[in-house]
Amino acid sequence: MRHTRLTALALAAVLTAACQSLEPAVQEQATTAEPAKPSGLGSYLAGKVARSARDTPAAAEFYAAALADDPDNQALLERTMFLQLAEGRMGAASDLAARRVAVAPRAPMARFTLATMSMRAGDMAAAREHLEESDLSGFAGFMQPLVLSWARLGEGDLEAGLEALEPLRNRQAFDGFRIYHTALLNDVAGRYDAAEEAYRAALESDARNATRLVLAYGAMLSRLGRRDEAEALFADYLQRLPDNAVIVTAYRVVLSGGVVTPPVAAPEHGAAEAFLGAAGALAREPSTDTAKIYVQLALHLRPDLDEAHMLLAEIREAAGRYAEANASYGRVQAGSAYHWEARIRIAANLDRLRQTEAAIAALETMAAERPEDPSPLVAAADILRARERYLDAVAMYDRAFSRIPEFSRRHWTLLYSRGIALERSKQWARAEQDFLHALELRPDQPLVLNYLGYSWTEQGVNLEQARDMIEKAVQQRPNDGYVVDSLGWAYFRMGDYDEAVLHLERAVELRPEDPVINEHLGDAYWRVGRQLEAGFQWRRALALGPAAEQVPLIEAKLSKGLPPASSPGNG
């Protein structure tokens, strides 16, 4: 369920009323008195509700109100500072950080905040002093060396900057960051031989597909007039990831004889790069509050860092905060390599906000701007398919396909998606061709194997081939309840009911809330003579809210059971 700020505000009002005690005299004058201000406890509880709803802006406001009522509460002060940072309210956050270090001098996030403010002001010595005062336990032990190295370079001491990175050398998880920042530090300082050595070492590690690394190295090569090498570097990357807009853009610059703009050109850029890298790593964690903080620190140092705007938008999007995500996507600069993708994401989020027609209109505008580009039409088709407007989706996919001169391995997803829309709109012959074409491009793709295999099973055709295909899918996705259900159903349709029960019981374990899987298990139980258990599964399927057209069929099973089994293919 998606929560809104209105929900948090309404709960705040309830909690405030519950937590305040009004004297009788005040109560008698309630009709004429000024509305009572929320209590500190009420604001605190409302802030907790907002946080649980992932409404960080509201949570930041409520915690600030609670802190005003209890200004010496250090735990509350620190939490409020975190929330202000997560929302990019750097003025308020820095004030709280100064209050925090007055009591806890080594508080790391407070020190990082104050160091960032100093760097933004150009005072690298003050930034260094804040960083050197920071506690180094936990994640701070990773962040502090990275940011400190750039503060030292900002003071004009490259060797001290490189030395600051040394604590990361013996920490395997962080050594890739150390090598990358070693390259960047030398690059910015003009020590290109040392920079190249580090760039090459980083490329030989697990970071070969890291966009920022390849961009930085290629930018240095182009700046040094070694355009052939930059071209080869970018071309090699695009062999693996042909749709990466950042490297495509850089590649075109090199091909035209231009010089690629480096991602890091100054000490404050390097510190922002460190914060961005940390945020990217943390964004994959269950709690993304700290990731948002590091993104905001990066943006305070570099408001034009489009990669940070994209990452912040993605974090907000993952939390279901679609309007806030679109605000971040909207800050991506028009000339950025990320701008096109940001616009497509905005349209997708408009659809999630129930503004589907506005989303489609935005994508149609984009399609008109680039008549050769299928991506906005694919995005529009995906939206229509998700909204179960299958005929409209097929028409949109057809328009997108007309812009693809030749299909390659990566296009299997488009064929799969159009195949689903075709199958749902009762155009099976075309759908089947799309699924088969997708399997020509990706013969072992489990989603396609499962969808086509299940469709054949439902139709009672190609049953042995369908079972074999689904078995391949199960081998790759053994914990996917839908795929395991398909295998059980294939055995059911082939008349092997004992085997069907084994797989369908497993499918129900994996997806206990799915009405179709529960109905399938009921059918299998009936065929093996376990009628009481069959009835239980059918009743459970009804309770789980099946499709409307399925309800009378399940009710008929509960009333009469299944008819006698006939030939394989009919169950």
Ramachandran quadrant class, 95 (left: phi over 0; alpha: psi -120 to 50; beta: rest)? alpha
Give pLDDT, residue 22.
29
Low-confidence residues of the chain: pLDDT under 70: 1-38, 206-209, 286-287, 567-571
- DSSP-assigned states of every residue in 93-119: HHHHHHHHHHHSTT-HHHHHHHHHHHH
Q: Hey, what long-range contacts does 547-554 have (CB within 8 A, 24 or more apart)?
A: 547/515, 550/515, 550/516, 550/519, 554/519
Asked, for residue 360, whether it belongs to a domain, the answer is: yes
Residue type, 219: A
Asked, for residue 555, whether it belongs to a domain, the answer is: no
| CATH code at position 418 | 1.25.40.10
Q: With CA atoms as reference, report the closest residue to 151 among 139, 135, 138, 134.
A: 134
Asked, for residue 93, whether it belongs to a domain, the answer is: no
Q: Return the structure tokens found at 458.
A: 């439902």
Cβ atoms within 10 A of the Cβ of 276, count?
23
Asked, for residue 370, whether it belongs to a domain, the answer is: yes
Q: How far apart are CA 468 and CA 369, in angstroms?
A: 45
Ramachandran quadrant class, 6 (left: phi over 0; alpha: psi -120 to 50; beta: rest)? alpha
Contact 300, 116 (CB under 8 A): yes
Q: How far apart are CA 559 and CA 344, in angstroms?
A: 50
CA of residue 219 relative to chain centroid, distance: 28
Question: Is residue 21 classed as helix, strand or coil in its secondary structure?
Answer: coil
Residue at token pair 């920079």: 195
Contact 156, 168 (CB under 8 A): no
Give pLDDT, residue 499.
97
Contact 381, 373 (CB under 8 A): no
Number of domains comprising the chain: 1
Q: How far apart are CA 539 and CA 559, in angstroms?
A: 11
pTM for the full model? 0.87
pLDDT tens-digit series, residues 47-98: 898 888 888 899 999 999 999 999 999 999 999 999 999 999 999 999 999 9
Q: What is the largest CA-CA distance in the chain?
A: 87
- Find the domain containing 407 and state its range: 356-430
Asked, for residue 397, whether it belongs to a domain, the answer is: yes
Asked, for residue 423, whether it belongs to a domain, the answer is: yes
Q: How far apart are CA 46 and CA 41, in angstroms?
A: 8
Q: Return the structure tokens found at 253.
A: 């610059």
Asked, for residue 313, whether it belongs to a domain, the answer is: no
Give pLDDT, residue 569.
57
Could you give the dihedral angle defined by the CA atoms of residues 173, 176, 177 and 179, in that order, rounded to the nearest 10 degrees?
140
Asked, for residue 497, whether it belongs to a domain, the answer is: no
Q: With CA atoms as reference, report the closest residue to 300 among 92, 485, 480.
A: 92
Question: Is residue 85 classed as helix, strand or coil in its secondary structure?
Answer: helix
Q: How far apart are CA 10 and CA 546, in angstroms?
A: 34
Task: Compute the residue count for the chain.
Answer: 571
Q: Return the structure tokens found at 184.
A: 């960047």
Give pLDDT, residue 26.
32
Q: How far apart are CA 97 and CA 80, in angstroms?
A: 10
